Amino acid sequence: MTQKRVAAIHDISGFGKCSLTVALPILSAAGIETAVIPTAVLSTHTGGFSDYTFCDLTDQLLPIAQHWHRLGLHFDGVYTGYLGSARQIDLVLQAFDLLRGADTMLLVDPAMADGGRLYAGFADDFPRQMRRLAQRADLLVPNITEACLLTDTPYRDGPYRKEYIETLLQKLAALGAAQVVLTGVFFDREQLGAAAYTAATGEIHYALTHRMDGFYHGTGDVFASALLAAVQNGFTLSEAADIAAEFTAGAISRTRAAGTDLRFGVQFEPELPWLIRRLGL
C-alpha cells in the first residue's frame, strides 16, 4: 500500500506543545508521512507567555512549495493551522495551488481565537482574512469562537443549545467546506467534544466525552491532528471525530492528574500507543 503523505503548514513553537510539535508526532505515529512548512519559529507559543522569541519565515513558504512542486510530489492532504498575517494566508493559498492534486484534501484549522477572544497579536480584521482560507477548505475544524468570527455570529458561552450549534455548522459549511468539525461543543456540565457535519448528507454526529474544567493549551491542535490522522487512515468523519475526541480527552486527563502548568501543553505522547491501536495499525 502506498503511504499517505500530508503537508503541514504551521509555526513551530519550540516549547509548549502546539502546532508543528503536535502535528508532526501525531501524524507520523499514525503512519502518515508528514512534510512540514514552518511559517515561524518561536521559543514558546503566545498563550500565556510574555517574552517569547519570534522569527518569521513567511518568505520561505512559497519557495518551499515551489521546490516540492518541481519534485512532482503528491500530497493526500494539506493541513494548515496557526498563521500570523494576511500575507501568510495569501501565500498558503498559493502554496496549496502548487501542492494540490485531484484528490488532495485541505484541512484548515483557523487557529486564531478561543474563549470568545482573538489570540494575542491578531488585528481585528484577521478573521476576515482567515475566512478566505476557510472558503477553500475541504474539512474545516474551528472551535466555537473561531466559528463565530468566521460567520459573523455573536459568541456565546456554553452550555449550548443544539439549535445554536447546528446553525453554526450550516453557516460554516456555507463558506464552502464539504465537511466541518466544530470543537468545544457541550450541552451540559458532564460532556464536551465536537460536532461533525457532512454537508452533502446533512448528517451531524456528536463526538462527546466527559468534560474537564480548565483551559488546556494546544488541545485544538491535538484534536485536529488526530482527526486528520484518522481520516487519512480511512475512517469516516464521524468515526474520526470520536477517535480525536477520545484521544484529546485522554491527554487532558493525564495532564490534569499530573497537575502541570496548563500553558505547557497536554500529555498526548503517552496516548500515542492508544491512538495507533485504535487506528488498527
Applying CB under 6 A, the residues found at the interface with ligand PXL are: 11, 13, 18-19, 42, 45-47, 82, 111, 119, 218, 220-221
Q: State the amino acid at position 114 in one-letter form.
A: D
Q: In the complex, what is the shortest distance from the CB of residue 3 to ligand PXL, in angstroms, rounded to a whole number?
A: 26
Q: In the complex, what is the shortest distance from the CB of residue 18 to ligand PXL, in angstroms, rounded to a whole number?
A: 4
111 versus 251: smaller Cβ distance to ligand PXL = 111
Q: What angle do CA 8, 235, 150 make, to 5 degrees?
A: 50
Q: Which residues contact 128 (CB under 8 A, 6 or more apart)?
A: none
Q: In the complex, what is the shortest distance from the CB of residue 13 to ligand PXL, in angstroms, rounded to a whole number?
A: 5
Q: What angle do CA 170, 174, 176 make, to 5 degrees?
A: 130
C-alpha cell at 160: 449550548
Q: Which helix (H) or strand (E) holds 101?
A: none
User: What is the Cα–Cα distance from 74 to 68, expressed in whole angstroms?
Assistant: 9
Q: Which of 239, 233, 151, 252 is nearest to 196 (CA)?
A: 239
User: What is the Cα–Cα distance from 195 to 192, expressed in whole angstroms?
Assistant: 10
Q: In the complex, what is the shortest distance from the CB of residue 218 to ligand PXL, in angstroms, rounded to a whole number?
A: 6
19 versus 179: smaller Cβ distance to ligand PXL = 19
Q: In the complex, what is the shortest distance from the CB of residue 199 to ligand PXL, in angstroms, rounded to a whole number?
A: 26
User: What is the Cα–Cα distance from 8 to 25, expressed in whole angstroms?
Assistant: 12
Q: In the complex, what is the shortest distance from the CB of residue 48 to ligand PXL, in angstroms, rounded to a whole number?
A: 8
100 versus 217: smaller Cβ distance to ligand PXL = 217
Q: Which of 133, 110, 134 is nearest to 122 (CA)?
A: 110
C-alpha cell at 196: 461533525
Q: In the complex, what is the shortest distance from the CB of residue 198 to ligand PXL, in angstroms, rounded to a whole number?
A: 25
Distance in angstroms between the alpha carbons of the first and the last residue of the chain: 13
122 versus 160: smaller Cβ distance to ligand PXL = 122
State the alpha helices, DSSP H only, in the chain: 20-29, 58-71, 86-99, 126-134, 144-151, 162-174, 219-232, 237-258, 272-278
217 versus 278: smaller Cβ distance to ligand PXL = 217
119 versus 274: smaller Cβ distance to ligand PXL = 119
121 versus 273: smaller Cβ distance to ligand PXL = 121
